[in-house]
Each structure stands twice: as C-alpha cells, then as structure tokens.
Structure 1
Amino acid sequence: MTGKSYLFGGLIMRGSLKKRGKYWYAIVDIKTGNSKRKQKWINTKCERKSDAEKVLRDILTKVDKHQLILSEKITFTQLLMDWLNHVIVNSVEETTWESYELVITKHIIPYFRSQLHDILLQDLQPVHLQKYYDEKYRGNKNEKGLSSNTLRKHHANIKKALDHAVRMNLISINPADKVVLPKKEAYRTNYYTVEQLQKLFDICLGTNIESAVYIAAHYGLRRGEILGLKWDAIDFNQGTIIIKETRVKYGRNIVTKGPKSESSFRILPLMSNIRSYLKEVILKQKHKKLFYGSNYNDLGYVCCLDDGSPLKVEYLSRKFKEILKKNNMPHIRFHDLRHSIASYLLKHGVSLKDIQVWLGHSDLSTTANIYAHIDMEMKHETAKMINNIFAKVRI
C-alpha cells in the first residue's frame, strides 16, 4: 500500500492505494479538527499503479471541492421510493403523485432490480439510463414498446429524483442530464365534424350523459371539468360560466380538486343556446327531486344521474363508448370532443392564442403542438389558392 497526506482548507486528508485482484483501489482518509474520521474505498479500475495515482489525485481534488460523496450505500430504487414517499408526497396533487407512483413501481424499479441487480446510486451512469430508455422504447416479446412521449414522463420522474439526490449530496452530478431521448412524436387528434356532433347530440338525447356531451362539446371542457361543474359556477345574470373544479379518479376513489393549472381556471361567456339548454336541465332536475324526495342527492352538480348523484369518471367514458358503437359512429374518446370544437375554431380563423385561452392550456406551445396538423391542412389550402391565382400565368 502507498499513501500520501494533503492539507486542504483546514482538513487533513490522506490518500492511499491498495491493489485488490487486478485493480487498484483509492482509499481516501479524512480527519477533521475534532478527530472524526471517514474513509472511502473507490475502485480506480486501473491495473497500472501510475494510472491509479492520477485517479487518486483527481479524487482528492474532488474532496477538496466537496464533489466527492461520502455517504451510506443506497440503491437507485431506494432513492426513487424515498423521493416518492417522503419528498414529493405532500407537494403535488394526489392524482399527480399516483401517476408518478405507477411509472416508478410498474416500470422503473422492476427493470433496475432485474436487469441491473438493484444498482447502487453512486454507481449509476448515463449508460444505464440510456439502456433503460432504449429497451422500453423498443419493447420485447413480453412487453409492447412505449411511445417517446410516455418515456419523457419516465425521464421526468427519474431526473427529478436524481436532482434531489444531488441536492442532498448523495451524488455529485445527475446522470440523467446526459441521456438522449427518442424524438418527440407529433400528437394527432381525433375529432368530429359539425355534422357528426349534431348527430351525436341527437343520439345522446335522453341518456344520462346527454348534458355532459352537449356542454363539453360546446365549451371544449376536459372530462374532469365537466364532471366537476356545479350550478354555483353558472351565473345567468352575468352570463358567465366559471371553470373552477374538477372531479377525477384517484385509485378507487373520486376526488374533487382545483383546475389542472392556473390557466385552467377560467371564466367563459354563457352561450345563448347553452343558457336555454341549462334552464331546461334545471327544470328536469326539479321534477326528479320531487320524484325521488328525500332519496335525491342534491349535491349541486350540473351533469348527474336521475337521483342527483354525480357521474363517475369511468361511467362517463364507458357510456360514451357504448352509445357510439350502438349507433355506428366513428370511435373517439370523450376527450376528443374538446379537440373537435378546437379544430372547428382553428379552421374558421380563430387564432391559436384565443384557442389556448378558451381551452385553458398553460402555454401556447401546447396548443400549437396538438393542432399542428390542422394548421398544416390550412396552409395547404392557402397554397392551393395561391397556385390557382398564378396557374394561368406563363413565366
């Protein structure tokens, strides 16, 4: 064994080398003023002593700059669970936490435990993460490959957890910063034409989801927003409708919470035909109250079952799908009603900025990315018009 002592910033540090097998190990010995001592063995992965000495000098420099981590051994998967259950559990929405938990426990942790034998956090390298993304994207015989957009959500979770590890001095750099993700895929929406929407209104007439479909299609509301809409959010005198609550599924339960983002909270004008329609709905609900008496659940929801109970998330989606199939309508999701009205507005000259505000998107790029293909269709029409203008002109 060979060793040297160094003096850095009042700390006496001793570095030594010892060979184990074919590799030299650097042993960093730190003594503080109160005689406390910490020692760390680090595999230099060098077979020659001269190379190992260079690594040792680099290690001691990192110690001086507080870049060398002297921590207890922790696996990458332990970090993920600690970050999930103790760091962010009270700082994000319940539904957001649930989506993180699903990604981490269903995908990331099983992979790193089986494929990399629960690798230590300090040993985690960009190549390990890169291999995870590549394999998840490609898929295998037992598992379908994930989309690049889905992988970006995985990456967001991994990066945030590793950022926390850096802040806690568990690691010096974040290996997730150096990976290359698959190219982001363009999001293509499905939507109905005005004629198809009119037919949809007709076939939903008299069903339990009639009001949900009719109002959502006119305003482009998210599913949770239409399910969370209450009568106190509608002001017939001022002619406004306020989007201020959403009802979403959280595990087996349904939770009510605020809008998805600050921009999702919005006040929209009450359309004249919606005003008339809602007054009809009020009248129908009054008749239902009389019929059900004390068994009526007067919770104040606009879209509800006959006994006043609010529509459940899965019920709305399932019923919507059943109605479309029964009437031979093209399959779309309930959420695609939102895309339908936005597509119609875009094609009729409404700006992306105005559509962003109407839909409650947090930024314009979200709106632009979703409806880029429609914008291109419009540009093709413009190109045809210009081409026709000069079609008879000879150059």
Structure 2
Amino acid sequence: MAKKTNYVKNGKEYYRVTATVGRDANGKLIRKEFYGKTKKEAEAKKEEYLLKIRNGLNPELENIIFGDLMHTWLFEVVRVSVKPSTFERYESLYRNYIKESELYSLKISFIKSLQIQRYYNRLYQEGKSSKTIRSIHKLLRSFFNYAVKEGYINQNPCGNRKVVIPGSAEEKTERKIETFTDEEIEKIKEVLKGHRLRALFLLAFGTGLRQGELLGLKWTDIDFKKKELKVQRTIKQVTIIDEKGNREYKTIEQIPKTKNSIRTVPIPSSVIPVLREYKKMQMEEKLKAGSAYLNDIENGYVFTTELGNPIDARNLIRAHKRLLKRAGVPYKNFHAIRHTYATKLFERGVPLKIVSALLGHADVSTTANIYTHVMPKEKITAAETLNDLLR
C-alpha cells in the first residue's frame, strides 16, 4: 500500500511537496513547501499557489490588511506625486470615511464589490451625498488599481460597472448653475464704490477667473496696453501633511488646474482704470506700512492685504458675503461670478469654443456640459437664422 505521508511535524504526519517560485536578490532559487493530509491535497495547494503567481498575484501578500496598505500607499506613493491641495483632499477622505469604516480591518484579498456596495449604500442612507460617495469611490478605485499592479489582488473590486453610486439617478437632473442678474450686478457695482477690493470683484466679473487664479495674479501678468492678463499660477491655502501625518497650514503657489488653464484673457476696457487706481492705492499702503509691507508692487501679487500679504481665500469669501448683504443681493457663492461671466458671453453670441478657451476648461465638452442652461437659447438662435431661407 502506498505511503500517504512523507513528513512529520509536531508529532503529526503530513504529505509535503515543494516548488521553485523564483530567485532571491542573490540569484538563489526560492523553494516553497506545501503540506496536506494526502499527496493530492498538498499538490492542490501547490497548484493554487502557482496559478496565482502566473496570474500576477503574490500569495504572500493576501493577508495584508486593507486599511494599513491604503495608508502606506497614500503617504508613501500618492503624497509625493500630487499637489499638496490634492493630497489634503485625499487624506481627508481616508481619515473621515476609510479609517473608521468596516472595510479598514479586512484582509485586502477578502474585499469584494458587494462589500463596497453595502458600504456606499450605508453612507447614502446616513445622509452622505452622491458627490461625496463618488469622491470616495474614485480614491478607492485608484488604490485598488495600485493593489492589482503590485500583485496584492488580481481584480479591482471598484472596477467599471462593478459598483453603483447610490443616488446617481437623481443627480442626472439638469445641473443648477447660479448666476447674477443684470440688476444684481448693478447693485453690487454700486456697493463696490469705495470698496478696497473693488478691482478684484470687477476683474472677476470681467474675466471669469477662478478664485485661486485671481489671488495668484502678479502685476507682471497684466499688460495694460494690450488690455489682457496671463493666468500662470494659482495660490491656495492648504494644510501640508508630512509623512508622519503632522499638519501645517500654509499659503502656496500652484500651477493652474489644467494645461488649458494657463491662458491669456482679455480685460474689459472699463476695468483697466480701476486696476490702475488700485495699484496707486497699493503704493500708498506700502508707504504707510514702511518696512512692515511684504509685497513687491512691481513684481508681486496684485491683490494683497494692507500689509502686502497674499489674501487668504477664507477672508475673500467673507468679504464676498458681506458685499452681497450690503447690496441686498441673495447669497450666491463666489464661483457664481465665473458662471455669470460665461453665461453673459453666451447670451451675447460668443461661440462655445471661445468661451471654453477663456474659461480655461480642459475641453469644449466640459463647458457645454456645465452651461446646458444656455445651450437651448443658442440652438433657437441658430434655427432662427434659417428663416430667410424657408420664408
């Protein structure tokens, strides 16, 4: 009768088989042992292990805890490859939605699409928006792509169409874009008379620049003769997080949002004298502050505090709220100024491609998708041009 075992360990008999699974850093063969109650069971374990290797999966990594690996990936891979503001957003999603979740302590090889779906469903039922869940999903999908690439798992459980974002159907309704009416703009202009940041707000209405682009403008970016400005940077207040998780709040310069965001934008003629007047006021503030003034007026930032510091975005938002309240205009966020700029251009017949370029969007489809509320009017106008032909 054939011997059923060939190895004894701790007084118990097993059948042992071995396999060569590669070479170490010195070129030496790496052999792994597999045990079973019978030869068939041991061989099955060996074949399963080798199949995983052939499929690009590292079986030695299957027991890694999902949350621990994601933390390592986030701080050692992502942190050094994205903007500080982007990492701040990712770290916040991880800390608020992953670290304390039911997914964190699971072995990475155990996580399936259904578990993620249940997690998303619970978040939605607890009142989290589809937008928030979609942000979490994008981060998880990126992480699992890394895990597949490194051999921790062989499939991404957040892959295309494997998980549904709850509430997405309701979000597909037409996007509401807030803009200021002509009457509201007149009220705002009236209140801006004598306002220290009059030039900033009028330039915002006249160019559609993003908040960070406005605050990142330098006097060298403005060409008074050509009546245009160049968008070359943004400034943003972000929390810088180091590899140990220590946090420090800083104002930093960044490259603009997309490649197309680096652009030249015309300045309305009526805003040019307002900018000149603001520059003169800034020089007076510098003389008054003396050595305490921190900004180089010729080469430094256009919009600063009275002591020459970059304007904190939070303070600009507060100024925006106070301005609207004084003007008796219902609150709309600062980005509504940008939407107003684009909408007014469309209403005046400026082509979609030109508006897209002025806004610095990544492509024309982005502009079209955002401003669908204006497009119907454009289509009607286009159709009306055929009246003479069909009359």
Q: TM-score range by the shorter chain?
A: 0.7 to 0.9
CA displacement 1:89-143 (0-9 Å, x = unmatched): 11111101111111111112222xxx3461110111111111222222x232xxx
Distance in 2 between the 1:321 and 1:85 partners? 37
Q: Is the 8 A contact 1:248 1:254 kept in 2?
A: yes
Q: Is 1:163 equivalent to 2:145 in the alignment?
A: yes
Instruction: Work out whether residues 356 and 367 of structure 2, in 8 Å CA contact, stay in contact via their aligned partners in 1.
Output: yes
Q: Give the Cα separation in 1 of the matches to 2:144 and 2:332.
A: 38
Which residue does 1:197 correspond to in 2?
185
Distance 1:375 1:317, change over 3 A: same
Relative to the length of structure 1, the TM-score reads 0.78
1:272 deviates by 1.7
Which of 6, 12, 30 is matched with 2:19 structurally? 30
Q: Distance in 2 between matches of 1:373 and 1:239?
A: 30
8 Å CA contact 1:59–1:68 kept in 2: the answer is: no
* 2:87 alignment partner in structure 1: 97
Q: Is the 8 A contact 2:34 2:45 kept in 1?
A: no
Does residue 259 (structure 1) correspond to residue 256 (structure 2)? The answer is yes
Q: Give ranges in structure 1 of 5+ residues lacking alignment.
A: 5-26, 43-49
Q: Does 1:286 align with 2:270?
A: no
Do the aligned partners of residues 60 and 285 (structure 1) sit closer, same or farther apart at CA in structure 2, a change above 3 Å counting? closer
Matches within 5 A, 1:348-363: 348-363=348-363
Deviation at 1:79, TM superposition (A): 2.0
One-letter code aligned to 1:174: N
Q: CA 1:70 to 1:204, structure 2 compared with 1: closer, same or farther past 3 Å?
A: same
Secondary structure at 1:30's aligned position in 2? strand
Describe the shift of the 1:40–1:369 C-alpha distance in structure 2 as closer, same or farther (beyond 3 A). Answer: farther
Letter of the aligned partner of 1:175 in structure 2? P
The 1:231–1:35 alpha-carbon spacing in structure 2 relative to 1, beyond 3 Å, is closer
Q: Is the 8 A contact 1:242 1:268 kept in 2?
A: yes
| Corresponding letter in the other structure for 2:347 | K
Bigger Cα displacement from structure 2, 84-93 vs 56-65: 56-65
Farther off after superposition, 215-224 or 289-298 = 289-298
2:48 aligned partner: 59
Q: Which runs of 5+ in 2 are unaligned?
A: 5-15, 23-27, 240-248
What percent identity do the matched residue pairs reach? Answer: 30
Q: Quick one: higher RCO (CA 8 Å, sep 6+), 1 or 2? A: 2
Query: Which one of the candidate residues 100, 105, 114 is aligned to 1:118?
Result: 105
CA gap of 1:324–1:179, structure 2 versus 1, over 3 A, is same
The alignment's C-alpha RMSD in Å is 3.3
Deviations 1:58-79 (A, max 9, x none): 8367346234431232111112
Task: Say whether 1:343 aligns with 2:347.
Answer: no
Aligned mates of 2:33, 2:72 — CA distance in 1: 26
State the shift of 1:312 in Å.
Answer: 1.0
Specify whether residues 38 and 179 from structure 1 end up closer, same or farther in structure 2 by C-alpha distance, changes over 3 A only. Answer: farther
Amino acid at match of 1:31: T
Following superposition of structure 1 onto structure 2, how do residues 44-193 of structure 1 map, counting pairs within 5 Å?
Answer: 59=48, 62-63=51-52, 65-72=54-61, 73-111=63-101, 115-116=102-103, 118-136=105-123, 138-140=124-126, 144-147=127-130, 149-177=131-159, 178-182=162-166, 183=168, 185=172, 186-193=174-181
User: Which whole-Å deviations, capped at 9, do the CAs of 1:39-87 have from their partners, x for residues lacking one?
Assistant: 6899xxxxxxx9x99x979836734623443123211111211111001
Alpha carbons of 1:69 and 1:297: their partners in 2 closer, same or farther (altered >3 Å)?
Answer: closer
Tell me, what secondary structure is at the counterpart of 1:350?
A: coil
Work out the number of aligned pairs and report it. 348
Contact in 1 for aligned 2:65/2:104 (Cα 8 Å): no
Q: Give the TM-score taking structure 2 as reference length.
A: 0.79
